[in-house]
Structure 1
Amino acid sequence: MSLNTHAIRAIYRFEMARTFRTLGESIASPVLTTSLYFIVFGAAIGSRMGDIDGVSYGAFIIPGLVMLSLLSESISNASFGIYMPKWSGTIYELLSAPVSYVEVVLGYIGAAATKSLVLGLLILATARLFVPYEIEHPLWMLCFLVLTALSFSLFGFIIGLWADDFQKLQIIPLMVVTPLTFLGGAFYSIHMLPPFWQQVTLFNPVVYLISGMRWSFYGVSDVNVVVSAAMILAFLLACLAAVWWIFRTGWKLKA
């Protein structure tokens, strides 16, 4: 089956145009927020802390801060992008058009992931202003960035379909994803925890994302990098399966 590239491009361009209309909220605000983290944790606190696994504290937290922004923005971009057609009722025009759900997903997820990747790269460039760092495995770093942006954009897409109002769009990002990121080793190594809590932390999926990203930067990680990559791929496949089921059954789409 050939893809309707015109439909994919139209959805993609529409979503990207929305970003350019709201550059302050989409790009400037997350970069400014992350810069404050670098100032407080990297410069003020980091200068008074020792190295962690041979890496200065300011540099050590860079992968965690990139992931914190990437996760929240991927979810936000994708969930808001698909929720707005539901809220306005234009989603029925989309569902009745000669466009397959694969093309719809590619358009929305492609735009959300692109915005998140641009933001992630901007944060890396901003980090250079505050903390010197090197990337030992740049290709792996890009792989982790792309896989994380795609998987959490899909997750955000599911949230946008599930949400019945604007408040629900924020429940999972604020009450689930952000706490898991802070407890997932964004600002510390899980090896610094007592043995019992080290084992408990391994049930936090965000640990594997941050650990894999940190390995791509400095060659150090809390868990094996192969395990980290496998966990991201498993989450991506689970989100793909969920989206396929939603469009197959019409759940939250045809009500």
Structure 2
Amino acid sequence: MSFNLRGTLAIYKFELARTWRTLFQSILTPVLTTSLYFIVFGGAIGSRIDTMGGVPYAAFIVPGLLMLTILAESTANASFGIYLPRFTGTVYELLSAPIGVAETLVGYVGAAATKSVILAIVILATARVFVDYQIEHPLLAALFIVLSAVAFSLLGFILGCWADGFEKLQVVPMLVLTPLTFLGGTFYSIAMLPEPWRTVTLFNPVVYLVNGLRWTFYGQADVNFGAAIAATLGFMALCIAVIAVIFRTGWRLRS
């Protein structure tokens, strides 16, 4: 069966159009939230901390704040995108259409990841208002941002299939992702932690994402960039395998 490009584009355009219909929630709210982080952590706390690993503290937290927003928005956009058709019952039209798993994933996940990348660009521009930062490896930074957005859009797609109510869409992002992000070196270097907490922190997958992006900015991080890429690709492969099982069995889609 050939790839249904027209069907994929229809899903992609529909999901992307939802961003402009909810512009305040989709774009402005995350930007305002990130600005508050810069004011509190970059301004108030940063004024009392000279540098972190040779990088001014306000600039040090830019990759972490960017990753915090990417993870939250990618997961939220993708989960709501697939949950809404389930809630309204239009998912059966999708299942009966000549569109396979690959086309569905590219449409929904691609749209969610695109929103996150657009938001990342806006946040980077916003950060310039508060701090002067640099990106030593811009191409690798762009690649890593896209990979992270796609990986957590895949996770969001799984959560959207799993949730049986709107409140459940927030369970994993609020109770799992947000704590892991704050404990993943967003506002500090894990090298500051005493043992055994430094070793325990390495089991937090968000550590690899934050430090992978931080390396592309400043050429230094607590985790090797190759390990960060490997962890991200492995997580993507795991999510794709889970989604394949969901479509094969029809779990939560046909019930």
Superposition pairs of residues 139-178 of structure 1, within 5 angstroms: 139-178=139-178
Q: Could you tell me which residue of structure 2 aligns to residue 115 of structure 1?
A: 115
How many angstroms apart in 2 are the aligned matches of 1:200 and 1:107? 37
Following TM superposition, by how much is the alpha carbon of 1:79 offset from its aligned partner in structure 2, in angstroms? Answer: 0.2
Q: Could you tell me which residue of structure 2 aligns to residue 180 of structure 1?
A: 180
Q: Could you tell me which residue of structure 1 aligns to residue 236 of structure 2?
A: 236
Q: Which moved more, 1:39-48 or 1:208-217?
A: 39-48
Q: Could you tell me which residue of structure 1 aligns to residue 202 of structure 2?
A: 202
Q: Could you tell me which residue of structure 1 aligns to residue 217 of structure 2?
A: 217
Following TM superposition, by how much is the alpha carbon of 1:252 offset from its aligned partner in structure 2, in angstroms? Answer: 0.8
Following TM superposition, by how much is the alpha carbon of 1:2 offset from its aligned partner in structure 2, in angstroms? Answer: 2.0
Residue 4 (structure 1) aligned with residue 36 (structure 2): no
Residue 131 (structure 1) aligned with residue 131 (structure 2): yes
Q: Could you tell me which residue of structure 1 aligns to residue 53 of structure 2?
A: 53
The AA in structure 1 aligned to 2:210 is I
Q: Which moved more, 1:96-105 or 1:123-132?
A: 96-105
Q: Could you tell me which residue of structure 2 aligns to residue 78 of structure 1?
A: 78
Following TM superposition, by how much is the alpha carbon of 1:249 offset from its aligned partner in structure 2, in angstroms? Answer: 1.0
SS in 2 for 1:187: coil
What TM-score do you get using the length of structure 1 for normalisation? 0.99
Following TM superposition, by how much is the alpha carbon of 1:47 offset from its aligned partner in structure 2, in angstroms? Answer: 1.4
How many angstroms apart in 2 are the aligned matches of 1:215 and 1:173? 25
| CA distances 1:105-129 after superposition (whole Å, capped 9, x unpaired) | 1100110000000001110110011
RMSD: 0.7
The AA in structure 2 aligned to 1:104 is T
Following TM superposition, by how much is the alpha carbon of 1:97 offset from its aligned partner in structure 2, in angstroms? Answer: 1.1
SS in 2 for 1:195: coil
| CA distances 1:210-252 after superposition (whole Å, capped 9, x unpaired) | 0000000001111111111100010010011111111111111
The AA in structure 1 aligned to 2:33 is T
How many angstroms apart in 2 are the aligned matches of 1:239 and 1:120? 22
How many angstroms apart in 2 are the aligned matches of 1:55 and 1:70? 22
How many angstroms apart in 2 are the aligned matches of 1:134 and 1:88? 46
Following TM superposition, by how much is the alpha carbon of 1:50 offset from its aligned partner in structure 2, in angstroms? Answer: 1.6
Q: Could you tell me which residue of structure 2 aligns to residue 98 of structure 1?
A: 98
Q: Could you tell me which residue of structure 2 aligns to residue 88 of structure 1?
A: 88
Q: Which moved more, 1:69-78 or 1:97-106?
A: 97-106
SS in 1 for 2:167: helix
Q: Could you tell me which residue of structure 1 aligns to residue 250 of structure 2?
A: 250
How many angstroms apart in 1 are the aligned matches of 2:26 and 2:102? 26
How many angstroms apart in 2 are the aligned matches of 1:150 and 1:105? 10
Following TM superposition, by how much is the alpha carbon of 1:99 offset from its aligned partner in structure 2, in angstroms? Answer: 1.2
Following TM superposition, by how much is the alpha carbon of 1:100 offset from its aligned partner in structure 2, in angstroms? Answer: 1.1
Runs of 5+ unmatched residues, structure 2: none
How many angstroms apart in 2 are the aligned matches of 1:140 and 1:94? 36
The AA in structure 1 aligned to 2:142 is L
The AA in structure 1 aligned to 2:96 is S
| CA distances 1:25-54 after superposition (whole Å, capped 9, x unpaired) | 000000010011011111221011120110
Following TM superposition, by how much is the alpha carbon of 1:55 offset from its aligned partner in structure 2, in angstroms? Answer: 0.2
Identity of aligned residues (%): 62
The 4+ residue runs of structure 1 with deviation greater than 4 A are: none
Q: Could you tell me which residue of structure 1 aligns to residue 14 of structure 2?
A: 14
What TM-score do you get using the length of structure 2 for normalisation? 0.99
Runs of 5+ unmatched residues, structure 1: none
How many angstroms apart in 2 are the aligned matches of 1:195 and 1:59? 27
The AA in structure 1 aligned to 2:209 is L
Instruction: Give the aligned length.
Output: 255
How many angstroms apart in 2 are the aligned matches of 1:208 and 1:150? 16
